[in-house]
Amino acid sequence: MLSVKESSDANVSTQAPMLDLHEIQATVLRLRPAPYFGSHVLLRIDEAQAGRELLRRLTPHVDSAANWWRPASAWLSLAISYAGLEAIGVQQNSLQSFPEAFRVGMAARSRQLRDEGVNDPENWEPLFGKGEIHIGLNAFSDSKEKWQRIVEMARGQYQSLSGIGVVNVQDFGAQPDDLNSLGYKDGIDQPPIEGSGVDPLPGQGRPIKAGEFILGYPGEAGVPLPMPQPDILGRNGTYVGYRKYQSRVGAFNRFLRANGSTEEERELLAAKLVGRWRSGAPLTLAPDVDNPALGADPKRNNDFNYANDTHGRQVPFGAHIRRMNPRDTQLTRLTDVNIHRVIRRGTTYGKPYDPNAFSQEDDEVPRGAIFLFISAKAMATMEFLQQEWIDEGNFIGIGSERDPIIGRQEEGAVFTIPKEPVRRRVHGIETFNVLRGGEYFFMPSISALKWVASLSG
């Protein structure tokens, strides 16, 4: 809605978009800007009337995905949790049409999500898991000034309503070189979406049916996913999983130090854990030494598959990106890799990554990532990922090894690096990112926001 720049890196399609981009919220499709600044604002609705008034006030400021491939300078999104839909006065039959996992909320699904031990909702920050988070506002911007302006505008709208309470405001971004909390470039790969108006970048794979990500369109199985009712509420909406991680930077650095004796060895180990060098350069294209120019080039930094790495000697089978998107890796289980993708909006918060942080106190310095996972079946996909691809290794033939970046590690955890003549097994993997809270939201279309705002009762 604010000014739009002319130039763009995106691969704008020659075919007109098939999706109702004017209806879909911008955050669903628009990529994180670089540099990026933003805030997550979590609100509570104490009076239904006030909730609807807030929607009336904010909907005109919520950006649609029209021309989403053009860089924009600031945009706002609005999503509502199940408790929020209840609090705002959505009728019972509508409420019942939402999927079970969404209705009970993220904390209640901890068993299915494997959110146990340190990640158990009992250990979350007290604001989460209590049914008090009703509305999630999210602002993204490419400049500090415009970010502050849009957040101020939103604050002006909710602060003057007595029936709205502020649960939490978390600023994010403004990181040196946009690196994440463990010092990596992130936000590189996204699933390509059919009919979105943009063709896949080299290496992104074939476009995936829009219904996997946005309600109301056919998914990969050829049929649309079940949609909340009535139609106006569900269509062009989607779900957002919100997960807040605390990065234990001290533990991560101690692990690298204990297992690499030179700077080069430590950086190579850090690259093996993810599958990319910290610069973003993929190990498949830069197996032995980093290539920062490659990492920075969006036309080349994702242009790979694993056809020439069937033994995992470049990217270990257990590496974060090989798990999260196995591409053409031969898996042990019948799997359709195109139906377990999510749109990621990673937002790094807190102090920047510090390579010299080694102490246990450093583990607790507020710093980490809030991940937004967007998909028409975000709940089912998160549960699948947690069960099969994150806290497991059998799917890719490595027993019970877990994701080295986001897995919850048990005593004696290892990370295997395939190598000739014998593999290297690295011990001492810890839980480097601890879950501190989370919730599921529904991100309605622009028309649905207006519809909810106009409910009576």
Partner 1 sequence: MATLEQTRTRQDHIAEKIKKVQELYADAPEVGRTALKNGLEALKRELAAAPVRQSAGRIGARRGKVSELTAIVPLAPGGGKRIRGLLDVLEGNFKGADLVGTLHDMRFVLLDNDTKLLFATTYDGEWDAYIDDFVTKIPNSMDILFCNCEGWPGIHSPKVKDYIAKTQYTADAWYVASPNLTVAEAWRLEKVGKAVDELLDKIG
- Residues at the site binding partner 1, with contacts judged by CB under 8 A: 112, 220-223, 225-226, 331-336, 338-339, 380, 383-384, 387-388, 392, 394-395, 397, 399-400
The partner in contact with residue 411, picked from ligand HEM, partner 1, none with C-beta cut-offs of 5 to 8 angstroms by kind, is none
Rounded to whole angstroms, how far apart are CA atoms 39 and 373?
16
Q: Which helix (H) or strand (E) holds 448?
A: helix 446-453
Extended beta strands in 199-342, E state: 238-247
Question: Is residue 437 a contact partner of residue 105, using CB atoms and an 8 Å limit?
Answer: no
* Shortest separation between residue 356's beta carbon and ligand HEM, angstroms: 19
- Which structure tokens are listed for 97? 């049409």
Between residue 329 and residue 348, which ones bind ligand HEM under the rule CB under 6 A? 344
Question: Which of 37, 217, 277, 371: binder of ligand HEM (CB under 6 A)?
Answer: 371
Tokens of 142: 């490419």
Nearest-approach distance from CB 208 to partner 1, in angstroms = 11
Q: Residue 172's closest CA among 227, 242, 222, 261?
A: 242
Token pair 């993997």 in the structure block, residue: 429
Q: How far is the CB of 323 from ligand HEM (least distance, A)?
A: 8
Answer whether 179's CB lies under 8 Å from 352's CB. yes
Q: What angle do CA 298, 300, 303 make, to 5 degrees?
A: 110
Using CB under 6 A as the binding rule, whether residue 90 contacts ligand HEM is answered as no
| Least distance to ligand HEM, CB of residue 431, Å | 11
| Sole residue written with tokens 């590496």 | 319
Give the phi and the psi of residue 257 in degrees, each rounded to 5: -65, -40
CB of 131 to partner 1, least distance (A): 23
**Is the Cα torsion angle 438, 443, 449, 452 positive or negative in sign?**
negative
| Spatial CA neighbour of 248 closest among 386, 369, 400 | 369
Q: Which is nearer to partner 1, 86 or 220 (CB)?
A: 220
Among 74, 106, 182, 379, binds ligand HEM (CB under 6 A): 182
Task: Indicate whether 172 belongs to the interface with ligand HEM (CB under 6 A).
Answer: no
Site string for ligand HEM, 238-277 (x = CB under 6 A): -------x-x--------------------------x-x-
Residue 153 CB, shortest distance to ligand HEM, in Å, is 30
Q: Angle at which helices 48-58 and 144-159 pack, to 10 degrees?
A: 150
189 near ligand HEM, rule: CB under 6 A: yes
Using rule CB under 6 A, residue 281 touches ligand HEM: no
Residue 385 contacts ligand HEM per CB under 6 A: yes
Torsion angle of alpha carbons 332, 336, 339, 345, nearest 10°?
50
Written as six digits, the tokens of 324 are 């999260």
In angstroms, what is the minimal distance from the CB of 405 to ligand HEM?
5
How far is residue 336's CA from residue 340's CA, in Å, rounded to a whole number? 8
Nearer to partner 1, 90 or 225 (CB): 225
Minimum distance of ligand HEM from residue 210's CB (angstroms):
18
Q: Output 126 or 412, the one with its CB closest to partner 1.
A: 412
Give the residues lining the site for ligand HEM (CB under 6 A): 180, 182, 184, 186-189, 245, 247, 274, 276, 320-321, 324-325, 344, 368-369, 371, 385, 405-406, 433
